[in-house]
Every structure is written in C-alpha cells, then in structure tokens.
Amino acid sequence: MGWASVENNNIDPLSNCQTILRSPLLDGVQELAQECQNFVSDGNYLIIVQDAVTHRERAYHFRKWKVALMVTQLRHEDENDLIIKLNSRFAVVEPGKKWLGSDGASIEISPNEDFKLFTGKTPKLDGFLVVISSADAR
C-alpha cells in the first residue's frame, strides 16, 4: 500500500509528502522517503477520515490518483436497513454480503476487524464495514 495520512488538517497529502521529501531531516529515514516518493510518482495513498460526532472512520485508498477502495465503519443496528437498500439498487452476488454496481464496482459487508487489513489501524469502535471497490482500479 502507498503512503498514508490521517487527514485532520488543511494540508493535502501531496503537499505534505513533498514537504517531507524536501526535508533535510530525512537522513536515516529512507523508508518514509521512499514511500513518499512512490506516492508522488504513482498516486498511491490512503486517507483516513474520522467523523467528529460519531468517531466512525472512513478510509479512501487511491491508486494512480483514482479512488480504488472506500471503507466505511457503520453500527450493527444499521446493517438490516443497509442490506435492504443495497438489494433494491444493486445486483446481489452473495445475499447479505456482496453486490455489484452496473459499472462493475463491488460493494461488500465485512467484519469490523478487517479494518486493520485495509488501513493498518485497529478499529476503535464496534460495528461492521462497508467496502466499495472501483472496477477501474483493480
């Protein structure tokens, strides 16, 4: 996975990474420099946003500067309503678990524990994940 940033300020990831690459303090931190260089060159990165009210997190993984994957944490009590809405709007691949959009995008319900697989972070809250994968970025 590319360079990652938790977005909690007004600095965009590209500007932040360019600042890191220009920093004279990078001696001995070659891994960070290489990850940033890959980000600047290839557009592969991860943004994690936390809702200020619910504290639920959303992750956006970009590949080649396009959104390839979105992961959203939801509460368990929202699951049944979500499944009903997804069933009414998308092709069901696996009942209650996976759907396909007309553009080939995949929507999948995953356990909250999988948040670490997508973000490298342990989920802080209970619930489940909705994972949306772009057909273009696979």
Please list the alpha-helical segments (H only) found in the chain.
Answer: 13-22, 30-42, 79-89, 115-119
Q: Are the CB atoms for 111 and 128 separated by under 8 Å?
A: yes
Return the pLDDT at 45.
82
69: number of Cβ within 10 Å: 19
For the ranges 48-52, 63-67, 85-89, the maximum mean pLDDT occurs at 85-89
Return the pLDDT at 82.
96
SS3 54: coil
Residue 31 main-chain phi, psi, to 5 deg: -60, -45
Q: Are the CB atoms for 93 and 99 separated by under 8 Å?
A: yes
Which pLDDT band, with edges at 50, 70 and 90, does 3 fall under?
very low
Which pLDDT band, with edges at 50, 70 and 90, does 66 fall under?
confident
Distances in whole angstroms, Cα of residue 52 to Cα of each of 41, 49, 59, 127 = 32, 9, 15, 17
Mean pLDDT for 108-136 is 89
Distance (Å, whole) CA 86 – CA 80: 10
Q: Which two tokens stand for residue 122?
A: 């342990």
Residue 119 main-chain phi, psi, to 5 deg: -120, -20
Q: Are the CB atoms for 124 and 115 separated by under 8 Å?
A: no
So where are the chain's domains?
3-133
Return the pLDDT at 28.
56
Return the pLDDT at 13.
66
* Burial 101-113, CB ≥16 within 10 A → b, else e: eeeebbbbbbebe
Q: Which tens digits make up the pLDDT trace of 83-112?
A: 999 999 999 999 999 999 999 999 999 999
